[in-house]
Structures are given as C-alpha cells and as structure tokens.
Amino acid sequence: MAPRRLLLGTVLALAASAGGARAQGADPARATRFIQSTGQELVAALNSNAPLTQRRQQVSAILHRAVDVEGVGRFILGRWWRQASAAEQQEYMRLFDETLIRNLSARFGEYQGVRFSLGRAQQRTEDDVLVNTIIERPNLAPFSLDWRVGDVNGQPKVVDVIAEGTSLRLTQRSEYSAVIQRNNGQISALLAAMRNQIQQLAAREGR
C-alpha cells in the first residue's frame, strides 16, 4: 500500500464493512462528530509518549469501538468464509484482529506530529454519509481520506474508507482472495500469510 494510504487509512481501511447489520438513517452531523471524536482520540494515542504496549492498547480500544471487526473480517474474506472450517474461521478472525492493530502500531514512529482536519460531509445515500478529512504529517504533503459512516445497530460506524479514489475494503478483499486462489482455494494459505505478516510487523516494532 502506498505511503499516502497509511496512517488512519491503513487500519480503518480494513475496517470497512458494516457486516451483517444494515445501516439506517445516516445523519451527516452525527457522522461528522463521530469522525472528529474518533480521529482526535486516535491522533492523541499516536502522538503520545506512552510506552508502546500502552499505546497499542489505546489504539485497539479505539478501533474496537469504531468498527465492526467481525463484520469487517467476514466481508473481506468474502465467499471463502463459507468454505472455511469453523476452526479456520476462528483462527482467521484472531489473526485479522491482530493484523489491524499491528499494521498501525508497527508505524507509530512515523506518525509523531500527525494532525487531521475535517472537510465537508455529504449524504451519500439514505444509509451512509461521506466525511472528508485532510491528514497532515511533518515534512510530507497532506492527503485526503473520505470516510463512509453508517448508523449500524444504533451506533455510527465506519463502513468504508476511500483513499485516492479507491475503496480500501474492496482492495483488501481482492488481495486476500488472490492469495487463496493462488493456493488452490486453501484457506490455510491465507492464514499462513497473515501469520507471516504479523511476524514481520512485530519485528518492525522491535518486539
């Protein structure tokens, strides 16, 4: 993934599905407040001088409040979810959850001094709102992320992230499916790739 798609997009891009719940009656004002408060919390955690383990816990808590991790994971696995065994499904969800956190915590050092600002919010459909943000990091050009927010089971949730015109949930779904297809439809091949990715990210963290 290109550097401009990192930061909040790297993780929340994966968190880009409302799962099995249907978004209902999205409200632009509420969606904007949700993105503002979630973004402020995440930026504060990224800019914190707290120990790595504590910052990872903070980020994990924020993401689990903001996204439907199980629904996200199932959406991204797509049709392969039904073909996976119960044990594979359970292991996939465990690895998926850790991947979300490790993708960001491995890059904490890159995000010191990060800021974000809100752009316009617009009703996309009756079910979701698109909220624009501008992400700024020291010595790098600002870039734009658009957040689709729906009201899922009575709570606002990020249901997609658009970076450089690309839906990142669809990108991730395509990448996971390609791994499985290259390995004769074996879900175990994706699980192995995910374990390897987690190991690489943990090594990058230095732990």
The conformation of residue 71, written as its DSSP 8-state character, comes to: H
| Radius of gyration, CA atoms only, the chain | 17
pLDDT reading at 44 higher than 60: yes
Over range 200-205, report the average pLDDT: 83
- The boundaries of the domain holding residue 133 are 3-205
What is the tens place of the pLDDT at every residue in 110-125?
A: 777 888 899 889 887 7
What mean pLDDT, rounded, does the chain reach?
A: 82
Q: And the tokens for 3?
A: 């550097």
In angstroms, the CA 76 to CA 96 distance is 10
CATH assignment at residue 179: 3.10.450.710
pLDDT reading at 9 higher than 70: no
What is the tens place of the pLDDT at every residue in 132-156?
A: 999 888 888 888 889 888 777 888 8
pLDDT reading at 15 higher than 50: no
pLDDT reading at 184 higher than 90: yes
Over range 32-48, report the average pLDDT: 90
Residues 171, 47: contact at Cβ < 8 Å? no
Q: What is the pLDDT of residue 21?
A: 38
Q: What is the pLDDT of residue 7?
A: 45
For residue 51, the SS3 value is coil
Q: What is the pLDDT of residue 50?
A: 87
- More confident site: 117 or 69: 117
How many domains does the chain contain in total?
1
Q: How many CA atoms lie within 13 A of 36 on its CB side?
A: 11
207 pLDDT tier (thresholds 50, 70, 90)? low
Token look-up 């969606």 returns 31
Counts of helices then strands in the chain (DSSP H, E): 8, 5
The total number of residues shown for the chain amounts to 207
Q: What is the pLDDT of residue 1?
A: 43
